[in-house]
Amino acid sequence: MACVLTVGDINIDIVALLDQYPPKGGDALAKRGELHIGGSAANTALVLARFGLEVSLLGRVGSGILADYALQGLRKAGVELSLVQRDPEVPIGVMFIAVTPDGERTMFGFRGANTRLKPVRLGEGELGKLRWVHISGYALLEEPQRTAALRILETARQKGITVSLDVGMCTAIHAREEVRKLLPQVDVLFPNLEEARLLSQKEEADEALKALVERGVKLIALKLGEKGCMIGDGEKAFTVPAFAIDAVDTTGAGDSFNAGFILGQLWGLNLPESALLGNALGGLACTVVGAGESLPTPQKVVALLQGALASPTWEPWKGGLNHLLEILKGGTKR
């Protein structure tokens, strides 16, 4: 078994770049269209694998050509797929993503086979190397996928394995109370600001973070987009700035941030350095169209960090940036 298991959706994303989003009932022609692997759990797994971690993915896809395309790309990236189920009746999830010139994406689609994920029990052999379980909040929306995710969470807690949860906007809206109940079982929570507001009923980032910690979650990595991220554990909270990038498409940015932070923690980095790596990966995800195979590589991160070191703005973070560069240049498997 891999050292990281991600649980959640595997999708195909159909991305369209628009000059402007059309009004209701209107038309819009894309100036560019692309097909990508998608799904929060799949994206995070793919990035982790690219950085040398042994990562397995628990999800469900259909049996058609689009499912084959997604699995081929994940396998090529190094993701272990023995826990991926094939559904003979329902196709792979498909998301339609409209991206406007400011880089912001509007997403809608059909989750398909994802929701039909059957619960599994991991054997002792599979649990032996497992150090981290990362769950996408979308896995909590429908049965039987919800039970599958909760069973893995329960097993991880019993074995003392670190558990992280990426909230997801739909989950924050439609499964808010369930997420709140789960917080004491979560080691690391990955919300964006709007999700944190919905879960905490607090408007300001620091107040939302504090309120969620008080509900029992051990550590929060709050994603703030162009403002970076805020990290808090109940005793302290601090903000780590974002890297300057030219945003093309924000699809997959949050999933890439998750991967960066998880990488940092598994590599033994401190919280600021893990947050720096998360911000680097999240920022780079915004510089390309689509998620999946477009998401950041170690080489891209090295170039971004080297550029930051040349800027006086990053002088206070010089030690952390140099440490990250040392690790990345020395090889990412740890």
Task: Indicate which residues carry an active-site annotation.
Answer: 255
Q: What is the DSSP string of 94-133?
A: EEEEEE-TTS-EEEEEE-GGGGGPPP----HHHHSS--EE
Q: At how many degrees (to 10) do helices 298-309 and 271-285 cross? A: 110
Nearest CA among 43, 85, 110 for reference residue 249: 43
Chain centroid to Cα 145, Å, comes to: 18
State which H helix or E strand residue 324 sits in. Answer: helix 318-329
Q: CB-hemisphere CA count at 13 Å for 122?
A: 29
- Cα–Cα distance between 251 and 50 in angstroms, integer? 18
Order the strands of the 32-38 sheet from edge to edge.
32-38, 11-17, 93-99, 105-110
- Cα–Cα distance between 37 and 43 in angstroms, integer? 8
What 8-state DSSP symbol labels residue 252?
A: T
